[in-house]
Amino acid sequence: MRLRILGVLGGLLLCFAGAEEGAAADKLEFQRDVLPIFETKCLRCHGEKKRDGKLDLRTVDAMLKGGVTSPVIQPGNAQKSLLIELLHYNEMPPKKENPRVTKEELELLRKWINAMPVPPTASPK
């Protein structure tokens, strides 16, 4: 009987831990959590003074606008976000630049993008 109770309690704890992790991802904020990564790794080429590829990473709106190619983030879908793809395959920052984006920073960016609300699609008129 005690083992069953311990098993149920352990299961509940795992559920709560998973819920807390999801809640933490929802609480990620651009200014506090994301911008510092960009400030140290990206803004020297994609910031106020220099905008390679016409890309500015200082604001969410600028990332949604994108640069020469397209928006670099797709809210709610990090897997389809160009930013994540370029960072994942170490194409950005350029290999000669340091410091590189860490695995932990990349995962934080994925969680932040996945937690973003997906904008409604335009309905046909």
* Cross-strand pairs, 46: 51
> Tokens in use for 94?
């350029």
Question: Length of the chain, please?
Answer: 125
pLDDT one digit per residue (tens) for the chain, 125 residues: 554 554 544 554 445 545 444 555 559 999 999 999 999 999 999 999 999 999 999 999 999 999 998 999 999 999 999 999 999 999 999 988 888 999 999 999 999 999 999 988 755 55
CB 33 within 8 A of CB 112: yes
Q: How far apart are CA 65 and CA 61, in angstroms?
A: 6
pTM to 2 decimal places: 0.76
